[in-house]
Amino acid sequence: MCNQDQPHSHAPHSDAPHSDAPHSQGHNHGQFDKAPLQRFRPIGRRRFLAGVGQGTFAFISEVATARNVIAIALGTTTTGLVACAAPPARAPATSAATPVPDAATAIPATPAATEMVMTPTGAIVATTASGLASVTYQQVNLGFVNAYVLVRGNEVAVVDTGVANSQGKIEEVIKAAGRSWTDVRHVILTHYHQDHVGSMDAVMAASTQATAYAGAADIPQIQTSAKLQELTDGQEIFGLQIVATPGHTAGHMSVYDPAGSAFITGDAIVNEGGAIGVSPAQYTADATAAKQSVLKIAGLKFETAYFMHGSTLDTGASDAIAKYAATLN
């Protein structure tokens, strides 16, 4: 157990050389050298509680190497996160220059915008700057239309439910991700068309812990026994941002993941046959609003775009959409 008598320092890390004073070769269960931890950013109570809510039992806020010192910050107490360091014994210095870690053993620096979380199963997953685990996106290919299973830590969100009798394929994807229906906490509908809400009742019957959502203007058109919560522009659900993109339908919604650099378009934009565009006019309620929604999406930045109709754009997605949007002016 590391000594918790003093809080972490918020002072910036000094570049001054480490002291050459000898270190104890044994582990002192009452004390430890806090000097290597001065550069670690402490994680607050709010982030810790968010991690606990996801079943997290340890946070690794940073792994760093400097002058042959390895420092790891962990947290397992109920009152806050405790940083511990276990620097190995230093070899006598041979020169004034700072040694360069061997390329085969150097630990890569963790990006400033992310942290690492150890789950109860022992898995290490990336987290966003907010302390939430990163989202993984799993496509449910239903033929001419897609739904998506989003996994963040131990929780799942389903975006759209496809045509009728699609719940079996959705379940397959959930299980392949190592989760179950009981982990589904959110079911988000992008709009009311039947190829997107056809399995709503079956999905909600299986997802007994889930809340269902749809755009307010579309809710009256959705035939389901489930209670639907209204989505609003800018609302945060599952750590993701809801973006109102009317036009295809009056209450159409898309899903934006700024931290994960991803965007689920719904039917605001399609990518059929490798060509980015809007839905055909016969399926679009308001062509002018649909165009404005494309321009709105083009103003966002993201690397990956997930479409309900068409293939995923894995890289350069927002640039490609912006290029298409420029043709609409």
Instruction: For 205, list phi and psi in degrees, rounded to 5.
Output: -65, -35
Instruction: Say if residue 12's pLDDT is above 70.
Output: no
From the DSSP assignment, how many helices (H) and strands (E) are in the chain?
Answer: 6, 19
* pLDDT value for 128: 53
State pLDDT tens for residues 159-216: 999 999 999 999 999 999 999 999 999 999 999 999 999 999 999 999 999 999 999 9
Q: Round the average pLDDT of the chain to a whole number and report it.
A: 75
pLDDT of residue 182: 98
Domain regions of the chain by residue span:
35-127, 136-326
In CATH, the number for domain 136-326 is 3.60.15.10
Any idea which of 121-125, 135-139, 280-284 has the lowest mean pLDDT?
121-125
Give 204's contacts (C-beta < 8 A, 6+ positions apart). Answer: 187, 210, 212, 224, 225, 226
Q: What angle do CA 203, 209, 215 make, to 5 degrees?
A: 65
φ/ψ of 263, rounded to 5, equals: -145, 130
Q: Tokens 């062509």 identify what position?
A: 287
Residues 6 or more apart in contact with residue 295 via CB below 8 angstroms: 325, 328
pLDDT digits (tens, 9 = 90+) for 130-166: 568 999 999 999 999 999 999 999 999 999 999 999 9
Give every CB contact of residue 36 below 8 A, 6+ residues apart in sequence: 66, 69, 71, 85, 87
